[in-house]
Amino acid sequence: MNFQAIAAIYTFEMARFFRTLKQSFISPVLSTSLYFVVFGTAIGSRMEAVDGVAYGAFIVPGLIMLSVMTQSISNASFGIYFPKFIGTIYELLSAPVNFLEIVIGYVGAAATKSLFIGLVILGTAYLFVDLDIQHPIAMMSFLLLTCLSFSLLGFIIGIWAGNFEQLNLVPMLVVTPLVFLGGSFYSISMLPEFWQTVTLFNPVVYLISGFRWAFFGKADVAIGISLGAIALFTLACMGFIWWIFKTGWRIRS
Residues that bind other proteins (CB under 8 A): 2, 4-5, 7-9, 11-12, 15-16, 19, 82-83, 86-88, 90-97, 248, 252-253
Min dist CB 72 to other proteins, Å, is 21
Give 236's strand partners.
Answer: none
Min dist CB 107 to other proteins, Å, is 16
- Given the complex with other proteins, which of 10 and 180 has the nearer CB atom? 10
Min dist CB 17 to other proteins, Å, is 12
- Rounded CA-CA distance 116/126 in Å is 16
- Given the complex with other proteins, which of 90 and 194 has the nearer CB atom? 90
- Given the complex with other proteins, which of 95 and 133 has the nearer CB atom? 95
- Given the complex with other proteins, which of 84 and 218 has the nearer CB atom? 84
Cα first-last separation, the chain = 26
Min dist CB 71 to other proteins, Å, is 19
- Given the complex with other proteins, which of 2 and 176 has the nearer CB atom? 2
Min dist CB 30 to other proteins, Å, is 24
- Given the complex with other proteins, which of 23 and 253 has the nearer CB atom? 253
| Burial (0-12, 13-18, 19+ Cβ within 10 Å), 133 | middle
Min dist CB 199 to other proteins, Å, is 42
- Given the complex with other proteins, which of 11 and 197 has the nearer CB atom? 11
Min dist CB 2 to other proteins, Å, is 5
